[in-house]
Amino acid sequence: MLTKKALIEVLERERTARLEVEKRFDETIARQTAELRRTATRFSNLISNMQDGVLLEDENRLIVLTNERFCAMFAVPVSPDILIGTDCSGSAEQSKHFFINPEEFVNRIDYLLSQRKKVIGEILHLTDGRTFTRDYVPIIIEETYRGHYWKYTDITSQKRYEEALKRSEEKYRLLIENMNLGMLEVDMEGKIIYANQSFCKMSGFEKEEIYGEIAENIFTRSENRALVRDKTKSRETGNMDAYELEITNKQGLIKWWMISGAPLFDQEGNQIGSTGIHLDITEQKQLEFTLREAKQTAEETAKAKEIFLANMSHEIRTPMNAILGLGNQLLKTELLPQQRSFLESINHAAENLLVVINDILDFSKIESGKLDLESIGFSLHDLLMQISSMLKSKTEEKGLTFNLEMDPFIAPVLIGDPFRINQILLNLLSNSIKFTEKGSVSLSCKVEESNENEQSVEIMVSDTGIGIDENYIEKIFRKFSQESTDVARKYGGTGLGMAITKQLVDLMDGKISIQSKKNHGTQITIGFTLPIGHELEKPAKQIISFDQSLLQDKKILLVEDNKVNRLIANTILTQFGIHVTEAVNGEIAVEILRKTSFDLVLMDMQMPVMDGVTATIMIRKEISTTLPIVALTAHALKSEQSRCLEAGMDDFLSKPFTEEKLLNMILKYLV
């Protein structure tokens, strides 16, 4: 049995322990209370600073908490703190005037409170144009209703933006419709989710027929499906582009669409498919195909024209070569005065015919862009002197005076195409002589500007002839153009000379002008700016004077199917002690060359059995790679000359050729 003292000690310890427990309990309660206050403060501050209007009511509809935003949204004239504890049971009636449907607003609140079920995102329309969303959340603690929470969010700006966006979309949809542009939207699997009326009209399908279908399977032809798949795949990487596509519509007709495609995104920026704007370009494609066919036809026509001109050149130049060649050989013989006069007339007529042929061929080359200009050193002074010497006798025959005037400051050497300048001046001067019956023809040249690098010269051709009607001057450079049928009958010509002259001047970046008056003469001025060259840039002169013994006993194989042409060439060559062997076609020439060696071959291009190109290829391949072969070609076209060189020929000589040109060509390879 415990003593009194021991009992007192036990009781004291129990009391001390109880006091300690009570102390710890009080401290725990204090900590929890402080934490609860801090949590409530944080919650209160959070709600107070929210951009949404918040209202927290207890089970008796007394306000537990609200915020400044709620008061501002509903024009409550007091601060949120003052509202705590206020009865809200009549607030719906007090606030209903804010809303478009006030009674519906009140009834809806009563219904929500009676049901006590959470509702999120209800749309409310206010009379002042604002739009709110409302959340209602009942508060249930341990299965007991403890109040509810309202949240109002002003979405006026968002709704206005959405409506503006919708109006914009509608406007562009209407614009697309009015422009007859078909609009199609597909999801990520390629299924159609939208098509406008224009697209349905273009494709022939109704909307209900294609919605949910794979667009590729409905419209795309099998040969184009790989292209469509590639385009669809590129949309996944954000690519936008436009392309043409051949499709088949509902009626089975082939159509062409121009499609401008782009990725399709939702409001959050996630890609949900692709959109395409479609334009029917069937008519344009048909026109394109027609134009392509027309271009091909034109190219074939141009090729046929080139072949025709080449054949015409061959067929005309071959007999012309005979006429001029034999004529020149006959002039070397003893002739009666009357015979010589007749022969000179024949040669003169043949030369005039050759001018007509060259005009036609030159114009064709200029039109096709195949006329190349030389860029060599030449003396303009010497060129003008040669032209003067050449034409002076013609003016004297007509009783005309020929005047030549040259600027002493013309550069000794200019860089350009002396042959084409010669052609231009001969054409102009020949016209002046032809159209002048009395008086004079003049040629003058003066320096307009000059520096150390280039010189601008002005060349003038003038006459006292029949002149040109002022109304015709602007037409004079047109092809096949002549002032009148009377002029054509009296003076002849192709009507191409001035057209060729103008185009040659243009090719050389020059300028040409005409001043004339009917029956008062004509003055034609040409201007060129040419680089200044040096004496070394002038090509070496070809001199026909040579030691004839150099050609003595040289052996030449003449391959030519035309008997007269063989006669001319043979006559010229044998005068210089050359031994000539003849072959009438390429096949015979090849057989002769297999058995006998020669110093040079003159090879006609067009012959029966085997032509010159084929024969040359065989010679180069089977007999000799070094034997000089010179083409005798009646083709004046550059393409034909290129064929000669590509076949392995060393050079070419155009028919009709003069004795000097033939001898110079032979001397080039045999001396």
Is the pLDDT higher at 493 or at 625?
625
Q: What digits encode the pLDDT tens for the residues 605-621? A: 888 999 999 999 999 99
Distances, alpha carbon 596 to alpha carbons 458, 505, 557, 559, in Å = 57, 50, 10, 14
Residues 345-373, mean pLDDT to the nearest whole number? 63
The pairing of strands 131-141 and 119-125 is: antiparallel
Least confident stretch, 51-60, 77-86, 220-229, 448-457: 220-229
pLDDT of 375 above 80: yes
pLDDT of 459 above 90: yes
Residues 529-539, mean pLDDT to the nearest whole number? 86
Place 307 in a pLDDT band, splitting at 50, 70 and 90. Answer: low
Place 33 in a pLDDT band, splitting at 50, 70 and 90. Answer: low
pLDDT of 370 above 60: no
pTM of the model: 0.42
CATH of domain 168-280: 3.30.450.20
- % of residues, the chain, pLDDT over 90: 26
Q: What's the confidence (pLDDT) of residue 496?
A: 62
- With beta carbons less than 8 A apart as the criterion, state whether 488 and 482 touch: yes
Is the pLDDT higher at 108 or at 537?
108
Q: What's the confidence (pLDDT) of residue 327?
A: 78
Assigned token pair, 346: 């024949």
Is the alpha carbon torsion for 66, 69, 70, 75 positive or negative?
positive
Is the pLDDT higher at 242 or at 223?
242
Q: What is the mean pLDDT of the chain?
A: 82
Place 583 in a pLDDT band, splitting at 50, 70 and 90. Answer: very high
Is the pLDDT higher at 74 or at 329?
74
Place 480 in a pLDDT band, splitting at 50, 70 and 90. Answer: very low
Q: What's the confidence (pLDDT) of residue 309?
A: 66
Q: What digits encode the pLDDT tens for the residues 127-169? A: 998 999 999 999 988 888 999 989 999 989 888 888 877 777 7
Q: What digits encode the pLDDT tens for the residues 160-205? A: 888 877 777 777 666 666 667 888 888 888 888 888 888 888 888 8
Q: What's the confidence (pLDDT) of residue 333?
A: 80
Cβ burial, residue 631 (10 Å; 0-12/13-18/19+): buried
Q: What's the confidence (pLDDT) of residue 483?
A: 47
| Range 548-670 classified under CATH 1.10.3720.10 | no
Q: What's the confidence (pLDDT) of residue 360?
A: 62
Q: What's the confidence (pLDDT) of residue 393?
A: 74
Assigned token pair, 154: 């002003």
Residues whose CB falls within 8 Å of the CB of residue 430, separated by 6 or more in sequence, listed in order = 391
Q: For tokens 């089975």, what's the residue?
A: 252
Q: What digits encode the pLDDT tens for the residues 255-271? A: 888 888 888 888 778 88
Q: What's the confidence (pLDDT) of residue 569?
A: 85
Q: What's the confidence (pLDDT) of residue 610?
A: 94
Q: What's the confidence (pLDDT) of residue 584?
A: 93
CATH class of 50-154: alpha beta
Distances, alpha carbon 84 to alpha carbons 38, 57, 61, 72, 582, in Å = 19, 9, 11, 16, 131
Assigned token pair, 530: 């040419």
Q: What's the confidence (pLDDT) of residue 539?
A: 73
Residues 357-363, mean pLDDT to the nearest whole number? 62
Residues 281-291, mean pLDDT to the nearest whole number? 88
Is the alpha carbon torsion for 106, 112, 113, 115 positive or negative?
positive
- Rounded to whole angstroms, the Cα distance separating 151 from 67 reads 11
pLDDT of 479 above 60: no
Assigned token pair, 657: 């050729």
DSSP string, 250-265: TTS-EEEEEEEEEEEE
Q: What digits encode the pLDDT tens for the residues 535-557? A: 888 876 554 556 777 888 899 99
Is the pLDDT higher at 640 or at 448?
448
Q: What's the confidence (pLDDT) of residue 415?
A: 93
- Rounded to whole angstroms, the Cα distance separating 634 from 603 reads 12
| Range 380-537 classified under CATH 3.30.565.10 | yes
Q: What's the confidence (pLDDT) of residue 369?
A: 57
Q: What digits encode the pLDDT tens for the residues 560-581? A: 988 878 888 888 888 888 999 9
Q: Would you tell me how many other CB atoms lie within 10 Å of the CB of residue 665?
A: 21
pLDDT of 121 above 60: yes
pLDDT of 36 above 70: no
Place 492 in a pLDDT band, splitting at 50, 70 and 90. Answer: very low
Least confident stretch, 3-17, 98-112, 415-429, 486-500: 486-500
